[in-house]
Homo-oligomer: A and B are copies of this chain.
């Protein structure tokens, strides 16, 4: 099977590495709007050759691994120009807006709306790693709007990536991800900025930072190019999750102000329940 991968960063590059190493992809054409990334990706063998998009349609499979605003913009044009048998799979972290954009496209049936939930806080071709997707979850939305062969191919690819596949509607996907992923990123970005601000006046504060801070603030290293459009495309759900989060913080704030030891303790003990859940991740 041959493929064109659009976007050779963390996700696109890692997909290329594993799908080639595991024998399902023979030849990968890479497309990357950023010339530096494109040449780095070629050097790292994330693609066999780099081509402009307009010369990359003659392929079995097109994978979109670019920011969700770019997916939304490019997908209709790609569906206009594909061969009848080509399958297009996206990997975006939001699904409702993207699915809506192509809902009545004449070639909607060749598109599989997917979200392989994997990643690190790193960015660009050099962030691509083997085994990134192993034992993670991948979601396919609006299965019923894709051709059977397209879904079968996508399922096969995710199975080769050792992912657990879940089918779900796009609106549930976006709501769940707002809580389970997008809110984590927001809390880390805000934590990073809070501590960077105070550090301006108190140099060397970071000498005291331990592994707990590093873990909590890790996602603040994530790519703004990827995350700004995710928060905007999923703004309705994200704002609900963020409001719920601020409310929890205000609740704890009040308890600390009131020196309500018992309720502060209970707040934390309740959060401890996350332990059971994390064991299953």
Residues of A within 8 A of B (CB): 117-121, 136-137, 139, 166, 172, 175-177, 179-181, 183-199, 202, 205-222, 224-225, 227-229, 231-232, 235, 238-239, 241-246, 248-250, 252-253, 256-257, 259, 261, 264-275, 277-278, 280-281
12 contacts between A and B (CB under 8 A): A117-B208, A179-B195, A183-B191, A184-B217, A210-B281, A215-B215, A216-B218, A217-B278, A224-B266, A231-B256, A231-B264, A239-B257
Task: Determine whether the beta carbon of A212 is less than 8 Å from that of B185.
Answer: yes
Per the bound structure, the CA–CA distance linking A240 and B218 in Å amounts to 22
CB pair B205–A184 under 8 Å, yes or no, is: no
Per assembly, the copies of the chain total: 2
Which secondary structure dominates chain A's binding surface?
helix
A244 to B274, CA, bound (A): 26
A156 to B243 CA separation, bound complex (whole angstroms): 49
A192 touching B274, Cβ below 8 Å = yes
Partner of A281, one of B189, B193, B209, B266: B209
Closest to A118 in B: B210
The CA-CA distance from A183 to B213 in the complex, in Å, is 9
Q: Are A189 and B268 in contact (CB under 8 A)?
A: yes
A176, B190: Cβ atoms closer than 8 Å: no
Q: Which residues of B contact A225 (CB under 8 A)?
A: 265
B190 in contact with A272 (CB, 8 Å) = no
B259 and A235 contacting across the interface, CB-CB below 8 Å: yes
On chain B, the residues within 8 Å of A181 by CB distance are: 208-210, 212-213
6 smallest CB-CB distances across A and B, nearest first, come from A192-B271, A224-B268, A184-B216, A192-B274, A190-B248, A220-B271
Closest Cβ–Cβ distance, residue A202 to chain B (whole Å): 7
Structural contact, B189 and A176, CB atoms closer than 8 A: no
**What residues on B are CB-neighbors of A277 within 8 Å?**
196, 199, 206, 209
Once the chains bind, are B278 and A207 in contact (CB under 8 Å)? no
Given A137-B208, A196-B270, the answer on whether A186 and B252 have CB atoms closer than 8 Å is: yes
CB distance from A253 to the nearest CB of B (A): 6
Q: Are A189 and B273 in contact (CB under 8 A)?
A: no
Chain B residues, CB < 8 A from A272: 192, 220-222, 224
Pair A176/B228 contact, Cβ less than 8 Å: no
Please report the C-alpha to C-alpha distance between residue A198 and residue B208 in the assembled complex, in whole angstroms: 34
Contacts of A187 in B (CB 8 A): 187, 190-191, 216, 249
Within the complex, what minimum Cβ distance (angstroms) separates A271 from chain B? Answer: 4
Contact of A244 with B198 at beta-carbon distance under 8 Å, contacts A192-B271, A219-B216 already known: yes
Candidate in A195, A208, A274, A278 with the most chain B CB atoms within 10 angstroms = A274
Q: A180-B209, A194-B245, A242-B253 are in contact. List 9 more A-B contacts (CB 8 A).
A: A119-B211, A137-B208, A179-B195, A184-B216, A187-B187, A192-B271, A213-B281, A231-B264, A238-B256
